[in-house]
Structure 1
Amino acid sequence: MAADCIFCKIIGKEIPSEFIYEDEDMIAIRDINPKAPVHLLIIPRKHIRSINDIEACDEALLGRMMTVAKGLAAKEGTDQSGYRVFFNVEKGGGQEVFHLHLHLVGGFDRS
């Protein structure tokens, strides 16, 4: 846990937030500034600053994040219509909070 990290504070329940998913390794919350009808953040409990800071021991965690994203897409009803999952990496890549998190974005009507 990083003392000045907003996501660490959310995980530690110092900042109230509704967890739409929670297990021993990660949580998922709705983005407070959504870019789509469905915009979720899947956040590991382990503080990892960015993709640039992952290590070999984090491979299973990253795979679980994708599995959780798939399940949440189904729960949110975007699995059949389509969705995107992505990481922003560093300021130039759009990262605003420096605690690794996976975006799940969907819910657009493209018909």
Structure 2
Amino acid sequence: MSEQREHGASDGCVFCGIAAGTVPCERVAEDATTVAFMDIDPGADGHMLVIPKRHSADLLDIPADDLAATVLAAQRLARAALTALGAEGVNLLQCSRSAAWQTVPHFHLHVIPRHLDRSRDRLELPFEPGRPADAAAIAAHGRAIAAALEADRAGEADVRG
């Protein structure tokens, strides 16, 4: 079920309010499709959010053109943050649905400049990299996902007739 709404629609969505200019924020950039603003609960100095102006609930709901525009805006912001803030790296984070930590049901990307200076960066990984899981489980998950993709392709072909 699609939850897309036109530019500036609110229905109680705080990010729609930001896009419409009715909810205050520290706006960093804006173009015809996206708005970028500072996160009010930053994981690191310079942590920003990029949203499409048109409402979509999450990654599974967003139209391809809005997704592409939002990712490209995030890339521009990442470059600017590295230059302006002297950050040593950047994370791009997207959370879809509450189990994945999404707290505002409007698609958004976190652009998080990363700093080696821990006083400027409180973000930590939620898992320990460099510890591979069971190879058989990894392969089984990969096969299941590939089968779901194939089923989706077959369903799309049936619809097109």
Instruction: Give the TM-score range, shorter chain.
Output: 0.7 to 0.9
What residue in structure 1 maps to residue 27 of structure 2?
A: 19
What is the number of equivalent residue pairs in this alignment? 110
TM-score between both structures, scaled by the size of structure 2: 0.59
Q: 1:89 aligns with which of 93, 96, 111?
A: 96
> Do 2:51 and 2:70's aligned partners in 1 also have CA atoms closer than 8 Å?
no
* Deviations 1:33-84 (CA, angstroms, capped at 9, x unpaired): 11111210011111111001123444532442343333433453356x1010
- Which residue identity is paired with 2:47? H
> Do 2:33 and 2:66's aligned partners in 1 also have CA atoms closer than 8 Å?
no
Deviation of 1:21 (Å)? 0.6
Please identify which structure carries the higher helix content.
2
What residue in structure 2 maps to residue 35 of structure 1?
A: 43
Deviation of 1:107 (Å)? 3.9
Aligned mates of 1:29, 1:7 — CA distance in 2: 10
The range that moved more, 59-68 or 14-23, is 59-68
Aligned mates of 1:23, 1:10 — CA distance in 2: 14
1:28-67 to 2 correspondences below 5 Å:
28-67=36-75
TM-score between both structures, scaled by the size of structure 1: 0.82
What residue in structure 2 maps to residue 72 of structure 1?
A: 80
Aligned mates of 2:18, 2:114 — CA distance in 1: 25
**Runs of 5+ in structure 1 lacking a partner?**
none
Aligned mates of 1:62, 1:27 — CA distance in 2: 9
- Which residue identity is paired with 1:10? I
- Which residue identity is paired with 1:85? L
Aligned mates of 2:100, 2:76 — CA distance in 1: 23
Distance 1:11 1:75, change over 3 A: farther
> Do 2:82 and 2:90's aligned partners in 1 also have CA atoms closer than 8 Å?
no
Please identify which structure carries the higher strand content.
1
Bigger radius of gyration among the two: 2
